[in-house]
Amino acid sequence: MSEVMLENTLPEKIQRYSIGIYLFRITQGMAILGGFIFIALIMMSCYSLIDRKLGSGGVIGDIEIMQMGCAVAASLFLPFCTIMSEHLKVDFFTAKLPLSIRNKLDALADFCLFAVSLLLVWRIGLQVQDLKEYEEVSALLSFPMWIPNALIIPSFIMMALCAFYHFILHLNTKD
């Protein structure tokens, strides 16, 4: 990516520090990977639907594949939304507050997102251990259920890092 394109796509507060640019590039790659997974799932679903209509039965376990794939793909977008500050915000009540108070409230929200992301990493990690220990598999494909759950963990780790980055930015913003 050229520097001109990078400057046009990145908010100024991310460009300010090299760690922000690194987080942006990593999360952008994750989001692109998520997009490719969704495209592959759509193609598989279309093939299965057409194959079923032609009487050949379609792809066995296509719903299972769709469920697992969508969970992994959707999780890959979360860090990019976080680094770009594009999560849903309800700032109707805070819009008229002074910038210094809004920055503190944004810092609090970012810290809460950071904490919840780490909580999810911990809980999903425990779930992965249980699923692996009890050898839980999907109904039709007998695919180990711990694998898609484990693939979600890096997304939540990156989301936590991006939320912490914004937390630090909001705390250090001069009024």
Expressed as residue numbers, the domain containing 164 is: 3-172
Name the nearest CA neighbour of 59 among 68, 69, 49, 67.
49
Answer yes or no: are the C-beta atoms of 107 and 167 closer than 8 Å.
yes
- Strands (E) across 66-135 are located at none
| Rounded CA separation 91/5 (Å) | 29
Give the count of domains, the chain.
Answer: 1
Q: 60 Cβ partners below 8 Å, 6+ apart?
A: 140, 141
pLDDT in tens, the chain (175 residues): 456 555 557 888 788 889 999 999 999 999 999 999 999 999 999 999 999 999 888 999 999 999 999 999 999 999 999 999 888 777 788 889 998 999 999 999 999 999 999 999 999 999 999 999 999 999 999 999 999 999 999 999 999 999 999 999 999 887 6
* Tokens (6 digits) for 86: 């594009």
Largest CA distance in the chain: 67
Give bridge partners of residue 137 from the DSSP assignment: 144
